[in-house]
Structure 1
Amino acid sequence: MGKEAALHYNIEWHFNPLSAPHFGGIWERQIQTIKKGLRQMMDEWRLRKPSPETLVATLIEIEFILNSRPLTHIPVSNDEEEILIPFHFLVGRSGSDVPPLALTTSSIDNNQYKQVQHHSKIFWDKWKREYLPTLLKRDKWTNKVEPLKEDNMVVLTDDNATPGKWLKGRID
């Protein structure tokens, strides 16, 4: 966006200092968890370099995973409530049930597809371990926290679940 357009719409840009990403708060923390997941994959890519098509398809799969993540802690009261995810802002609804179009229409072969799934699983496993703790609602330790009880909703982790699927459960 040019200076004139910014002035016309009364937009004022504020940037974090280059050497102080902690000024960004929560979004910088998210970027840090994403970078950790990507570094894990890059270590493996050094051993066996992926083709450009495989790399692009893997990054699209990771984009899908990130856009289907919960943005806030999971509500514990109602299983009918939909969890707010980035897809709600991007497409106006939950798009997490639709596979990335590039993977269904791309020209990658079966072997490349398996590589994409393998690399996205590596990212998912690493990133999920980093991201899940950020979903916990934290109260000050001086406040009394009510323990989980019957009929509360919880997030379930399943190592065999499809990357990007956030399973919910109800305590019986």
Structure 2
Amino acid sequence: MGQLPPPRVAPSRAFSNTGIDYFGPVWFRRVQQRRSPPVKGYAALFICLSTKAIHLELVSDLTTASFMAALRRFMARRGRPHDFYSDNATNFVGARNELIALRRLFQSQQHQYEVSRSLSEYNVAWHFIPPRSPHFGGLWETGVKSAKRHLLRVIGKAILTYEELTTLLAQIEACINSRPITPMSNDPNDLMPLTPGHFLIGQPLTSMPEPDLIALQVNRLSRWQHVQQLFQAFWRRWSTEYLSSLQQRTKWTVKSENLRVGTLVLLVEENQPPLQWRTGRVLELHPGGDGLCRVVTVKTSTGVFKRAINKLCILPIEN
């Protein structure tokens, strides 16, 4: 098991490094009229990689304009991130019918150009996880699971209006952001846990760097400094207690030898027809910061692909 990437462990403003995913579809009515036909929409989920805080936006359709509008609403409320992270569109291979249109949107050259051009104006970078490796995006996959569970429990088969559904998503967002992630202290009389919501209201979106105020007495601080001291205490708890729980390595504890360039491998593909064995040669290694290789580039008869090593089977060479 590898180490957590820097965006997961570095203290930063909430949503400085953000993962994004879609889930749905969700049905709603544009107006509150009985004969108004229901229309299909989607929910965009933004999750902070360090604090696991979540932001939900309702998207009315799968177009680049709606996608960029959701991004702008998110940045207007949560501040401008440094980096975005998302699934690669190839993760939707074999998905349900409602995700086929989402895959087409993400793979569209026009969509990628519009998103890159708009984000370049804000100096925001976009990163994709390796193709067909959804476990690299387990953070937002877990957030989608939690949000969908709350949504299905509340609405069931009811068809809400756009305003009602937007309100419901905001309440679900608040519910998820109020979940405890670690105790606030070891005091048995302290019943207040640390939640993602603490990091959302601890400082303004355009705050300036503050000096370390943890060691100062409260009676020596102004009201604003006291607020900053509380916020720094949240991060101290996050780094000493919650972060250490994320670093526990419960599987893949035995070190294996790295793949080598030229190794013959079998690609594990979803929905592969019988008697079809897709093989290839390792063309390039992409080692992590610890020197271990978890992603490689493979050359096959149909092209060159980047894959996680858990999607490859090494073929032994018989002498």
If the length of structure 2 is used for normalisation, what is the TM-score?
A: 0.23
More helix by share: 1
Q: Which has the higher contact order (CA 8 A, sep 6+)?
A: 1
If the length of structure 1 is used for normalisation, what is the TM-score?
A: 0.38
Q: Rg: which structure is higher?
A: 2
